Amino acid sequence: MRLHAQQRDTTLGEVKVSTTRKLFNSIKLNDGAAGQQVKVIDTMLLKRYGMQDMATLLSQQMPVFVKAYSFNGLSTLGLRGASAAQSQVFWNGVPIQNAALGVADISTMPVLFISRANIVYGSSGALFGSGNVGGALMLDNDVPGFDHRYKRLAIATGAGSFGQFSAGLKGAYNTKKWFFSTSAFAQTARNDYGYTTAAGDKAKMPNSTLQSGAAMLQAAYQIKDQNVLQLSAWVQQYDRRIPPALFEPYSAKQQQDRSLRTVASWSRVRSNMLLVTASLINDSYTYTDPAVQLRSQAGVYQYFHEVTWRHWHKKGGSLVLFSPVQVSWLASGADSQRQQRAGIGGTYSRSALKKRMFLSVQARAERVNATNIFLPGAGANYTLVKDLLGLRATVQRTYRMPTLNELYYFPGGNPTLRPEQGWSQDAGYTLNIKRGRTIYYHDVAVFNRNINDWIMWLGGAVWTPHNIASVHSRGVETDNKISYNSGEWGLQLGIATSYVLATTTDSYMPADGSIGQQIPYTPRYNARGSISFSWRKLYLTYGHTYTGYRFITTDESAWLDPYNTGNIQAMYGMKMHKHDVLLNVQCNNVWNARYSVAGFRPMPGINWMAGVRVEL
């Protein structure tokens, strides 16, 4: 596996999957995902955003669309014109999107808890299951180490504008048999930033406070060499008040979210590898709105287990077989709804043409309740010029069942919804040129996806999901970097762009005006540029983000204006009493842009965040 980015690069590198080096915790990505485009978030970047959340990191560093409902509201990830429900999030190989909503709120995920993060672009339903249409965010914790005894502890704190304050710690300890890791994170904020009301008056954002706390524990025991038992637990509470939208004169809404995520695994590596994973997740919420005397409570549970077996052939081939089972159930008052999934799948890969080509074929048979699904896929990588130019391509069938909320939510659920289904194709190339101390990196990806029975929520006082017939998504993404490293100092320039057309090609609703129009909240244009300078232990960077028009109606009759935001970050590392100290200062929205990511939800102007991390 080749990492197409210099080792000092603190932004993002694209990875071309092969069988020569393992960069991922996922067996499926390492051994069965030829042609799949995967971008790795550098570990230094995770440190820079260690006191912030994944939504902030991705919105500032990735050419993806993060839909944020205000500064402390729900934030969801959209990839390549796909909806939030079509973009999955995995933690240690387990899907963690809310089993009822089908989406994951990435603003509630502390970066401090994550040791590895990757973005998988494009559909990979054969590998990761129905529902994986636009791509996936893969989050992983530390891989247990037993080679030598060690211990480490890091303490961090941060403060910023609008009453933001956060504190966290992360520690690990191991022996030749045991491994322990723990993380904790807490934050509070007033979020009383200034904005302009619908009447044009200046005001402070009301009813917008936030309090949250989270803890994570990992424990692992090495029974024998390459034979490991592991347990991970992540508990979290997230309490926030919900400010009024611009059309609301007042809001006293508030929501309390609780989650408990547990994963247990057993892995054995001999001539073959066997991995058994089991997980139980509980998400619950309490929503209150005193203005209408509303109090709503619900809990959703998900049980997941998967057995994965990998076999290497002496001639360079690899066979991975897996059998996942997932059961989700929603408990809301006296009602209880359930969705069951069971499947069996596999991927076979091997090298060809004197190891210049890497091929894989995948297939998954899945049963969701009483519906049978077959998801085939295939991919290939080809090295056209060694260490210089590589090509890639994939084709996948896509499928997504409606979520429990889409089917049964009251009021508004639609039990007659049909599943989304279609095909997707991806292709691209990567060019790496090294001239002395200078590295030129250029990557282009093109994609095409056709989905029938696309699901969208529509309505007024009561919103209801509908199948809007067919959607055609296609686009081009580019990633370009120039890096120079003299040893003591380095300079990097980068720009990433995304052009996405996601248009309705057919509609079940006559004369709705959607034919040929862009799907709501899918920007056609996204771009991110950066310039970074490092000298010894000092790092400075400026990042600029452009997000284009987002239409908020299916007929393009209403839209949100494009916006530009800039971010400056400085980081300095030093030794203090034999301890490593990392200082970090960040200024967000330096041009004080007034904008909204989601309709009628203003975002803050210029704001600051500063933090310190001490390695003990």
Q: What average pLDDT does this structure show over 418-440?
A: 96
According to the model, what pLDDT value does residue 334 have?
A: 52
249: tokens are 């004169």
Contact 505, 538 (CB under 8 A): no
Return the structure tokens found at 360: 């894989």
pLDDT band at 207 (very low <50, low <70, confident <90, very high): very high
Q: How many domains does the chain have?
A: 1
Which pLDDT score is estimated for 296? Answer: 85
Q: What is the mean pLDDT of residues 240-254?
A: 92
> Tens digit of pLDDT for each residue in 546-579?
999 999 999 999 999 999 999 999 999 999 888 9
Burial of 255 (0-12, 13-18, 19+ CB in 10 A): middle
The DSSP element (H or E) to which 402 belongs, if any, is none
| Helices (H), ranges, 267-320 | none
Q: Provide Rg for the chain, Cα atoms.
A: 24
Give the separation between CA 184 and CA 171, rounded to whole angstroms.
9
The parent domain of residue 254 ranges over: 2-615
Instruction: State the average pLDDT over residues 45-61.
Output: 91
| pLDDT exceeds 90 at position 509 | no
Place 19 in a pLDDT band, splitting at 50, 70 and 90: very low
8-state DSSP, 292: G
Paired residues of 371 in beta bridges: 368
Residue 13 reports pLDDT greater than 50: no
Band of the pLDDT at 17, cuts 50, 70, 90? very low
What is residue 313's predicted lDDT score, i.e. its pLDDT?
A: 80
- Token pair, residue 375, equals 């998801």
Distance (Å, whole) CA 254 – CA 262: 27
Mean pLDDT, residues 106-118: 94
- The pLDDT of residue 144: 86
For the entire predicted model, the pTM comes to 0.93
Instruction: Give residue 332's pLDDT.
Output: 65
Dihedral sign (CA 106, 109, 111, 113): negative
Residues 340, 346, 350, CA angle at the centre, nearest 5°?
160
Query: For residue 590, what is the domain's CATH number?
Result: 2.40.170.20
Q: Which helix (H) or strand (E) holds 180?
A: strand 178-189
- The mean pLDDT of 11-31, rounded to a whole number, is 56
Residues 6+ apart with CB under 8 A from 460: none
Residue % of the chain over a pLDDT of 70: 95
